[in-house]
Amino acid sequence: MRLYNTMTRTKEEFKPLKDKVVNMYVCGPTVYNYIHIGNARAFIVFDTVRRYLEYKGYTVNYVQNFTDIDDKIINRAKEENTTEKEIAERFIEEYFKDADALGIKRATVHPRATEHIDDIIEFIKILIDKGYAYVVDGNVYFETAKFKDYGKLSHKNIDELMAGARVEIDEKKKNPLDFALWKAQKPGEPAWDSPWGKGRPGWHIECSVMSTKYLGKTLDIHAGGPDLIFPHHENEIAQSEAAYDQPFSKYWMHIGYLNVNNEKMSKSKGNFFTVRELTEKYDPEVLRLFMLMAHYRSPINFSLDLLDQAKSAYERLSNAVVNLKHLVNITKDRELSDEEKDLIVKFDEYKKQFEEAMDDDFNTADAISVLFEMAKTANANLNGNSSKKLVEYILEMFLKLSDVLGLSYKNAETEIEDEEILRLIEERQKARKEKNWKLADEIRDKLKERGIILEDTPEGVRWKRIR
């Protein structure tokens, strides 16, 4: 298995520190608003990485933080005349709603910055003791010039960074590149006690501290959005490696940018979408499929038109599942014919292709194309006379591989328990037998309004739910 490492800018053979365990840290959201589709891409992609690692038999310790204290949260609390804690709690809850809908599995641990203040303080003490940090008026800064490898992840030259510096001007810093580990309290802001006075942690410090606490001093994979490479991840490396003198992470993974209507997504342009507003109109799995149909490191463009394309594609996959489930219900168990044995071989080959695609730096686009080929082959070769065993084999494989991508086709559920609906379907079948097309069509329309689509096939009526 190979994956692209931002640090070395090459695809490397993946070998975790411990044989079958992967310690993985993903930078999570700052909880001051609903997550947007840029966030969603990162979380969907790394959730898929995790799922595939688990599929391959690794135990994945997956940690994703919540930044629950920060300027944006403070501002929002002010605007709404409430507390920072309330804002954070609320949007953590909303995060889980969106993440669950998108099929993003819960992390092993979801640590929050404000619950690790003591650990953060201890960590800063180490940095001060080792001479990497200095205190000015209750603020503590990391002295970037002291860390010789500063810039190694983002491949930036520290002198040029300074030369081009549009970096914020802060008289307290020795150097514009230095960054805050601890921020002294400003009037009206929440604060915690520390050896340097009341204040709150800087942004970068929480990830260094919490990743180490839950996963150890050297991670296998550290991942996040592309805009975190510099300065966030660069700063994390500086802090952690300065403190512990060992590599902070073996592999660094970053996704590509997501643009909206060919423009950079930004609030000033007002061109960003939240996950919430999209999932009100689209099946969340459509969004998930959309994100995975391109390679995770490529920049992608988002638009509603493109999402509609993904929706059609998704329906093809989900229809294949409906059709297979229907066949499972109506086929009989019997020995496989020679042709059917050949099909088993063919599907085993598909599975192999899927794995090869994923093994090559998580090429989900290629993996998905295999799913489409599986759907086509199944549709073309299976029918009511097929062996049930065969149909089940294919369905199970299709669902298992889809699950690696986080696609469960929840809405392709074919079970219907509602007595009334079952009765209407019966009634319509009877009407059709009597060639009472008017009544049959009425019932079909009526059920459609209730989200049930009926399809008449040579092997009887088939139904599915739609949103």
Partner RNA sequence: GGCGACAUAGCCAAGCGGUAAGGCAGGGGUCUGCAAAACCCCGAUUCCCCGGUUCGAAUCCGGGUGUCGCCUCCA
Q: Which of 176, 227, 165 is nearest to 29 (CA)?
A: 227
Helices and strands (DSSP H and E) totals, the chain: 15, 15
Residue 232 is labelled as binding a ligand = yes
Residue 274 is a binding residue for RNA (CB under 7 A): no
Residue 440 is a binding residue for RNA (CB under 7 A): yes
Distances (CA, A) of 139 to 30, 49, 174, 233, 335: 22, 38, 12, 21, 75
Minimum separation from the CB atom of position 155 to RNA (A)? 4
Are 9 and 155 contacting, i.e. CB atoms less than 8 angstroms apart? yes
Is the Cα torsion angle 236, 242, 243, 247 positive or negative in sign? positive
Q: Footprint of RNA on residues 193-212 (CB under 7 A)?
A: 203
Using the rule CB under 7 A, which residue among 309, 337, 396, 460 binds RNA?
309
Please report, in angstroms and rounded to a whole number, the separation of the first and last CA atoms in the chain. 38
By CB atoms closer than 10 A (0-12, 13-18, 19+), residue 445 is: exposed
- Report residue 137 as tokens: 């008026």
Using the rule CB under 7 A, which residue among 15, 106, 130, 164 binds RNA?
164
Residue 27 is labelled as binding a ligand = yes
Kindly give, in sequence order, each residue whose CB lies less than 8 Å from that of residue 387, ignoring residues fewer than 6 positions away. Answer: 331, 332, 333, 334, 335, 336, 337, 340
Residue 141 is a binding residue for RNA (CB under 7 A): no
Distance separating alpha carbons of residues 52 and 105, to the nearest angstrom: 12
Q: Footprint of RNA on residues 104-123 (CB under 7 A)?
A: none
Of 26 and 243, which has the nearer Cβ to RNA?
26
Residue 172 is a binding residue for RNA (CB under 7 A): no
Stretch that binds RNA, among 56-64, 136-144, 301-309, 391-399 (CB under 7 A): 301-309
Distance separating alpha carbons of residues 428 and 5, to the nearest angstrom: 59
Distance separating alpha carbons of residues 65 and 326, to the nearest angstrom: 42
- Report residue 404 as tokens: 């690696």
Q: Footprint of RNA on residues 335-374 (CB under 7 A)?
A: 360, 363, 365-366, 368-369, 372-373
Amino acid residing at 235: N
Residue 373 is labelled as binding a ligand = no
Using the rule CB under 7 A, which residue among 16, 103, 111, 224 binds RNA?
224
Residue 41 is a binding residue for RNA (CB under 7 A): yes
Residue 456 is a binding residue for RNA (CB under 7 A): yes
Residue 294 is a binding residue for RNA (CB under 7 A): yes
Minimum separation from the CB atom of position 462 to RNA (A)? 7
- What does the per-residue mask of binding to RNA show for 9-38, with x meaning CB under 7 A? x-----------------x-xx-------x
Minimum separation from the CB atom of position 262 to RNA (A)? 7
- The secondary element (H helix, E strand) that includes residue 183 is strand 179-184
Using the rule CB under 7 A, which residue among 306, 328, 344, 399 binds RNA?
306
Residue 269 is a binding residue for RNA (CB under 7 A): no
Stretch that binds RNA, among 17-25, 95-103, 190-198, 454-462 (CB under 7 A): 454-462
- What does the per-residue mask of binding to RNA show for 54-83, with x meaning CB under 7 A? ------------------x-----------
Q: Footprint of RNA on residues 232-261 (CB under 7 A)?
A: 232, 255-259
Distance separating alpha carbons of residues 290 and 307, to the nearest angstrom: 7
Which residue numbers belong to the known binding site? Answer: 27, 207, 232, 236, 267
Q: Could you tell me which residues are annotated as the binding site for ATP?
A: 267
